Every structure is written in C-alpha cells, then in structure tokens.
C-alpha cells in the first residue's frame, strides 16, 4: 500500500516493500498483546531478514527520531512488545535460521525469531534438549525469551533462559552490532553484555541471534498428579521430595478454582486424583525409568495416596492438560490482569493465603485464579472482572507480595504492566544504576520507551565529525 510516511519508503529500501507493513488490517496483529489488555497504534511494521538489515533499520529510525518496539512472537503478557502509540514495530520473525547442533560443545546457534518449538524439535532430533519449555512454545521466539529471561516449566532442573544462554548477537540503539557467539564456558573479559541484555525487555538492544546451552535428552519420564488439602501441604510435599532426591523436572501447583475454570472451558472430566483444594503436578525424568524412584520418594507423603500416575505419552498429556490449559481458559473467561510473582518456599503458602482478601478488598466482584511453578516459587496471580486500566488490584497484590519478601516479576518481565511499581522491589540506588545503563546504551531513548523504566526522550547525540 502506498504511504505518505517517508520513513516507510526509506525502510522499504532496506527490507523490501513486501516486508514493510502500513495497511491497518495488517498492522492489527502486531498492535494488541496476547492478553488483549494492552494495545496501541504502530507507525508501521518492519520485518528485516538479517542482523545487517536490523542494524540499518535501527540507524534509519534513529535518524528519523522514530522509536522502536522489538517484537518476537507477541506472546508476552506484560504489554512490552506492542506499541503504546506511534512506534515502529520491528518484527524478528524472519530471522529464524537454525544452525547445526554443535554436539561437541552441546550448544546451538539460532535466529532470534525461531520459535521455541522449532528449536526444541531441531535439537531433539540430535539427542538434546534446550532445557526450557512453556505452553506458548509454538509462537514464542527465542529472542523474546532472552529479552524477558523467560522461565517456564523446567526451571527447577535447568534454570531460566539466562542459565541456558551461551551467547548472543544484538543490535544496539545506534545500529552497532555486538556479537558474543563464541560459546566459551569461561570468559572474564569485563562487563557481561550477554547477561545484561537478557531480561532487558528490548530496552537496551535488539537480539538477532542466540547461542543456547543444551542438555542431553533422557529417555524415561513419568507424570504424577497429586491432590492436596492445602498449599502448605503442597510446599511440604515438594520440599520432602527434593530432600529424598526425586528426579524432578517440573513441580507445578494449581488450586481448585483453576481446575473448575479449565473443566468449564475444555469439558475435561474431573482429575483422576479427584478434585482437591490444591494440586501438585510433578514431572520426573531420568536415564532409568523413574516410576519406582518416584513411588519410593512419594511413600508416606501428603497427597501420595491420591496420586494419578502416567508414563505413556497420552496419559502424561492428559494429566498436563489440567495445568497447560489454565491460561487459555482464563483468556476465554475475560481479559485478565496477570501478575506473575515469586516467593521463597517458606513464604509461599502465607502469601497465597493472604491474596484472596487483598483482591477482595480492592475489587469485591473480581475473580481470582492462582497457579504457578512451585518448583521455582512462581505464583501466577490472575484476576478477572477488572477494567483493563483499573490498577488498584495490581498495586495491592504487588504490595502484598513484597510484604512477604517476594519479587513483583518472576518470569514475564515488567513491561508496561508493572513499570509503575518497580520501585517496590528495586531500591533507588538500583533504579539509578539501571537508568544510567539505559542512558549509556540508548541515550536518546529510542528502544522500547516506557517499558521497564520510565520513557525518556533526549535529543540524539551529535553525529561524529
């Protein structure tokens, strides 16, 4: 579509007309986030096909004073990957190449726009796992997962995205390229740019390629669903399983309210362990069949007598459905406020117990759904029945979590959703240091303004003579 925007013509010269979108019907998919809570108009969408094209696009946007929102799969849940009003959306979707798996180092380099599912299938064929998994795997991109330091279902064994990162390549706000793809396990040569960019939510640079650490695939797995009478029992059972050395990969927790929502949306029958106030879904994997090891580890524990166990693919997927389909079931019930927080094991149950009253005080008619990754302390607080811009519950929940020594951001990032409350968890000194890093790497505030830190617009630095 012809456009009067000179920037569109300029960028089309870099990426080709077919990768430059200005038609409002085509922009729509890039303008609203997965939750439908956050949306804004894009000036245009540009889809570069290489690191060099990203760098040239960024340089030309900077010259035109156009701010840029990097976007991967647009599965983010804190409004950080969609425009707030008039930004250029830079989609990484075309940079999705997969290099051959390096079986000697156990690493692989992939394009930032590759989906997690594509990378998982690629490395699985060579006998490896990326050690990271989440329900948005078919759409979420590796670049987005680096930008948010994504967590997911296997953090208790493999860590978050930061732990899986062996290196990356990124374009900075001035269009320069930093490339740390060497994959060395040791490197003490100064500031860790890879670690810094991980979790920076597109505010410091645009990730174009990623080098991932892999782990050997283990052949045998088992899934166990437990019914428990309280959150304390879930925490206690997991602590004892860890103490007994159970070969756990995942320990997911959800309450009866989540089961009711999933059953209402999907038509699933009651869970085979029966419906209980709390549930613990465990995945174990090992070189040798872990069924007996799990049975021994569960012996005599709370919930052990209700256990539903599956070690075949269909049976395991059927148990996982009660957990994996929670997010879609919430979305079908309305536009949620999503607050992903994390707590230490010794504070987890007390915080969870406090949340219903906190939410009811701020919004008596709201519906609260609680679930999360107990293995790493994440609670996904979902609240339905609120206007998208009514933030009283958000603030009350985040204050409650901080009062229980937890973090206001576990794995989805801060985005725009939680930016007003970052000060609850990060000190003035830390916020000043973060602002100084932003000012050093992006002095004109071109990358993802308003995400994570308050937006700043400074005049671009004078060009070198």
The residues, ordered by sequence, that sit 6+ positions from 378 with a Cβ below 8 Å of its Cβ are 151, 155, 340, 341, 342, 372, 410, 411
Phi, psi of 214 (to 5 degrees): -110, 165
137 binds ligand 2HG (CB under 6 A): no
Helix, strand, coil in percent for the chain, rounding step 5: 35, 20, 40
Q: How far is CA 108 from the centre of its chain?
A: 20
135 binds ligand 2HG (CB under 6 A): yes
Among 151, 199, 372, 385, contact with ligand FAD (rule: CB under 6 A): 151
249 binds ligand FAD (CB under 6 A): no
In the shown chain, the binding pattern of residues 321 to 340 toward ligand 2HG, with x for contact by CB under 6 A and - for none, equals: ------x--x-------x--
Interface positions, 155-184, toward ligand FAD (CB under 6 A):
none
380 binds ligand 2HG (CB under 6 A): yes
404 binds ligand 2HG (CB under 6 A): no
Interface positions, 322-351, toward ligand FAD (CB under 6 A):
327
SS3 66: coil
Binder of residue 338, out of ligand 2HG, ligand FAD, none (CB less than 5 to 8 A by kind): ligand 2HG
Give me 353's structure tokens: 């117990």
150 binds ligand FAD (CB under 6 A): yes
Torsion sign (Cα): 29, 33, 35, 36: negative
Give the nearest distance from C-beta 41 to ligand FAD in angstroms.
16
80 binds ligand FAD (CB under 6 A): yes
Task: Report yes or no: 87 and 97 within 8 Å, Cβ to Cβ.
Answer: no
Give me 416's structure tokens: 């725009």
CA distances from 145 to 27, 107, 258, 316, 397 (A): 23, 17, 25, 26, 25
Give the nearest distance from C-beta 215 to ligand 2HG in angstroms.
21
Task: Report yes or no: 279 and 225 within 8 Å, Cβ to Cβ.
Answer: yes
382 binds ligand 2HG (CB under 6 A): yes
| Interacting residues toward ligand 2HG by CB under 6 A | 135, 327, 330, 338, 380, 382
| Interacting residues toward ligand FAD by CB under 6 A | 34, 69-77, 80-81, 92, 112, 134-136, 140-141, 143-145, 147-148, 150-153, 201-202, 206-207, 327, 411-412, 448, 451
């Amino acid at each position: 579509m012809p456009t009067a925007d000179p920037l569109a013509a300029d960028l089309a010269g870099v990426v080709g007309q077919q990768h430059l979108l200005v038609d409002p019907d085509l922009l729509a998919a890039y303008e609203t986030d997965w939750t439908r809570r956050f949306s804004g108009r894009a000036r245009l969408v540009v889809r570069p096909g290489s690191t060099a094209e990203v760098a040239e696009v960024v340089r030309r946007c900077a010259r035109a004073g156009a701010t840029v929102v990097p976007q991967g799969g647009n599965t983010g849940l804190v409004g950080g990957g969609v425009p707030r009003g008039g930004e250029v959306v830079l989609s990484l979707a075309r940079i999705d190449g997969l290099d051959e798996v390096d079986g000697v180092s156990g690493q692989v380099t992939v394009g930032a726009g590759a989906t997690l599912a594509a990378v998982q299938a690629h490395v699985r064929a060579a006998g490896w796992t990326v050690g990271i998994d989440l329900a948005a795997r078919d759409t979420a991109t590796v670049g987005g997962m680096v930008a948010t330091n994504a967590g997911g279902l296997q953090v208790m064994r493999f860590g978050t995205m930061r732990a899986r990162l062996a290196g990356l390549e990124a374009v900075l706000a001035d269009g320069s390229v930093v490339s740390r793809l060497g994959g060395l396990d040791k490197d003490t040569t100064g500031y860790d740019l890879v670690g810094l960019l991980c979790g920076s939510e597109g505010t410091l640079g645009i990730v174009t390629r990623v080098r991932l650490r892999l782990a050997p695939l283990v052949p045998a797995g088992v899934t166990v669903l437990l019914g428990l009478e309280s959150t304390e029992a879930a925490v206690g059972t997991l602590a004892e399983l860890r103490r007994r050395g159970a070969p756990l990969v995942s320990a997911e927790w959800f309450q009866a309210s989540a089961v009711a929502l999933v059953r209402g949306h999907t038509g699933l029958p009651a869970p085979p362990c029966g419906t209980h106030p709390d549930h613990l879904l465990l995945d174990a994997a090992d070189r040798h069949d872990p069924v007996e090891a799990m049975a021994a580890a569960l012996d005599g524990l709370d919930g052990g007598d209700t256990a539903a166990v599956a070690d075949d693919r269909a049976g395991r997927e059927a148990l996982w459905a009660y957990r994996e389909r929670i997010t879609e079931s919430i979305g079908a019930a309305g536009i949620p406020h999503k607050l992903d927080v994390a707590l230490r094991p010794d504070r987890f149950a007390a915080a969870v117990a406090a949340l219903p009253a906190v939410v009811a005080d701020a919004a008596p008619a709201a519906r609260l759904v609680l679930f999360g990754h107990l293995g790493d302390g994440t609670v996904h607080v979902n609240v339905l029945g609120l206007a998208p811009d009514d933030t009283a519950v958000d603030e009350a929940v985040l204050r409650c979590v901080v009062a229980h020594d937890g973090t206001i951001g576990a794995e989805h990032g801060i985005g725009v959703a939680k930016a007003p409350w970052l000060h609850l968890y990060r000190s003035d000194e830390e916020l000043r240091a973060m602002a100084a890093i932003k000012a050093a790497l992006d002095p004109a505030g071109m990358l993802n303004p308003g995400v994570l830190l308050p937006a700043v617009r400074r005049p671009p630095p004078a060009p070198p003579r």
